[in-house]
């Protein structure tokens, strides 16, 4: 019996972590699109698209993509949390564990976003001129490019 | 009838008439939903401002909010360790306050609308301490986002009374813990300002902040 309870707690923790991870990905995309951090976007370009049966073509920009992405990540995740107590009547994750899982999942979501966006944008963003520091640099380069230029190339040159 | 009980009866009395409304409010009172929604707002604030200076200020507010949330929650846990239990300060008002049963224990299970019945004491509301700790810390540095977050915190706490698992005074107690948590967090950030500056420098050097 104890083992069953432990297993279900473990499943709940994974479920919680996964939902937070997914929601964080969506929030970062919307925030990055709104603040112009192109280096953080998963879909940085714009495409013209025609939705059947309409004849008109729409231009989908990175902001549209980010909101679409958020709609399929943040909203379902929050929906799950909205009905959590009614689905898991005894599914309580203790406050301290919850805080730890949230921080870990948010960090995982942030790190995944940094690496995935760096990979997706590595040929698109190639600015050599940026002098911006911190997140501001991600308006012109990817996170990997920024870190590599500052910490690897500069140390090799010196 | 005390003001607390009258206020509880009024808010709780709104429930139990429309099942769909009870389900909606029960979702808002959920242990996870509002806290996570508010924390996601913090993630958005971290990345989502066009001006670098304003973003840096928001990031400082987010760090303070996370600290406030943790400290306020820690204060509640600490108070529970000190005051909750049959042998803790028996016969005193502190014992009465911190060991008070949930409303449905005193008033019957009919006051609970679509929510599970927690087994721990009612006072203070841990959720109120956490959500108000977070919202107040942001409000002190960013009125626009802070007001939204305070609104979300208020809705979550109202919902906890509506579904019948807290008295209004539990929420007030949680709010007091939140104020103490925010004050402690701001003091810590002031006292440890060289460390905070170092943390900011590290995050900026790693292109994670600023």
End-to-end Cα spacing for chain B: 54
CB contact under 8 A, B33 and A110: no
pLDDT at position B168 is 97
Distance CA B80, CA B60 (A): 30
Spatial separation of the C-alpha atoms in residues B30 and B23, rounded to whole Å:
10
For B207, which of A24, A30, A137 is closest by C-beta distance? A137
* Residue A2 lies inside a defined structural domain of this protein: no
Which of B31, B39, B55 is opposite residue A85, by nearest beta carbon? B31
| Residue A23 located in a structural domain | yes
The span from the CA of B95 to the CA of B103, in Å, is 17
Which one is predicted more confidently, B22 or A7? B22
Contact B48 A106 (CB under 8 A): no
| CA R_g for chain A | 20
C-beta atoms of A83 and B27 within 8 A: yes
Q: pLDDT tens digits, residue range B30-56? A: 889 999 999 999 999 999 989 999 999
Q: What is the pLDDT at residue A66?
A: 92
Domain membership flag for residue A104: yes
Please report, rounded to a whole number, the percentage of residues in chain B having pLDDT higher than 70: 100
pLDDT class of A4 with cuts at 50, 70, 90: low
Residue A140 is assigned to a structural domain of this protein:
no
Q: What pLDDT digit, counting tens, does each position of A10-48 carry? A: 888 999 999 999 999 999 999 999 999 999 999 888 888
pLDDT in tens, A54-106: 888 888 888 899 999 999 999 999 999 999 877 776 667 887 888 899 999 99
Residue A103 lies in a domain: yes
Q: Tell me: the pLDDT tens digits for B111-146?
A: 988 888 888 899 999 999 999 999 999 999 999 999
Q: What is the distance of C-alpha B138 from the center of its chain? A: 13
Q: Among all residues of chain B, which has the CA nearest to that of A17?
A: B36
Neighboring chain A residues of B44 at a CB cutoff of 8 Å: 27, 30-31
Assess if residue A57 is contained within a domain.
Answer: yes
Question: Which residues on A lie below 8 Å from B43 (Cβ)?
Answer: 24, 27-28, 31, 106
Q: Which pLDDT band holds residue B167 (cuts at 50, 70, 90)?
A: very high
Question: Are A81 and B126 inside 8 Å of each other by CB?
Answer: no
Residue B180 has pLDDT above 60, yes or no: yes
Residue A49 in 3-state DSSP? strand
pTM for this entry: 0.91
| pLDDT tops 60 at residue A127 | yes
Residue range B168-192: mean pLDDT, rounded: 97
| Residues of chain A neighbouring B47 (CB-CB closer than 8 A) | 28, 31-32, 35, 37, 40, 135
Count of structural domains within chain A: 1
Instruction: Find the residue in B nearest to A34 (Cα).
Output: B48
Q: Is A86 in contact with B26 (Cβ distance < 8 A)?
A: yes
Range of the domain at A86: 9-126
Are residues B116 and A85, on separate chains, in Cβ contact within 8 Å? yes
**What mean pLDDT, rounded, does chain A reach?**
87
Q: What is the mean pLDDT of chain B?
A: 94
pLDDT of amino acid B70 = 93
Q: B200: how many CB neighbours lie within 10 A of its CB?
A: 17
What is the predicted ipTM? 0.90
Chain A residues whose beta carbon lies within 8 Å of the beta carbon of residue B23:
86
Mean pLDDT of B182-195: 97
């Amino acid at each position: 019996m104890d083992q069953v309870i432990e297993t279900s707690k473990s499943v709940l923790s994974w479920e919680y972590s996964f939902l937070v991870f997914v929601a964080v990905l969506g929030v970062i995309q919307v925030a990055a699109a709104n603040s112009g951090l192109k280096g953080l976007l998963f879909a940085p370009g714009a495409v013209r698209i025609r939705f059947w049966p309409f004849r008109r073509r729409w231009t989908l920009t990175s902001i549209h993509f980010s909101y679409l992405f958020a709609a399929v990540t943040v909203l379902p995740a929050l929906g799950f949390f909205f009905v959590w107590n009614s689905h898991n009547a005894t599914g309580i994750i203790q406050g301290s564990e919850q805080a730890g899982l949230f921080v870990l999942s948010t960090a995982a979501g942030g790190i995944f976003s940094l690496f995935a966006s760096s990979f997706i944008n590595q040929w698109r963003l190639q600015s050599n001129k940026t002098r911006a520091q911190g997140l501001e640099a991600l308006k012109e380069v990817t996170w990997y490019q920024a870190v590599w230029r500052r910490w690897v190339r500069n140390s090799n040159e010196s | 009838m005390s003001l607390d009980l009258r206020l509880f009866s009024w808010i709780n009395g709104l429930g139990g008439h429309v099942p769909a409304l009870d389900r909606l409010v029960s979702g808002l009172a959920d242990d996870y939903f509002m806290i996570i929604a508010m924390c996601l707002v913090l993630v958005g604030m971290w990345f989502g401002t066009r001006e670098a200076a304003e973003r840096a200020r928001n990031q400082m507010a987010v760090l303070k909010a996370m600290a406030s949330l943790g400290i306020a929650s820690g204060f509640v846990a600490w108070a529970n360790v000190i005051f909750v239990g049959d042998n803790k300060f028996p016969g005193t008002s502190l014992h009465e306050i911190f060991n008070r049963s949930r409303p449905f224990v005193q008033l019957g299970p009919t006051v609970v609308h679509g929510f599970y019945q927690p087994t721990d004491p009612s006072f203070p509301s841990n959720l109120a301490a956490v959500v108000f700790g977070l919202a107040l810390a942001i409000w002190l540095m960013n009125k626009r986002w802070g007001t939204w977050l305070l609104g979300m915190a208020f809705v979550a706490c109202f919902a906890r009374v509506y579904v019948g698992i807290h008295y209004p005074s539990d929420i007030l107690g949680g709010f007091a813990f939140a104020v103490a948590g925010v004050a402690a967090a701001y003091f810590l950030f002031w006292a440890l300002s060289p460390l905070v500056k170092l943390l900011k420098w590290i995050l900026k050097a790693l292109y994670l902040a600023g």
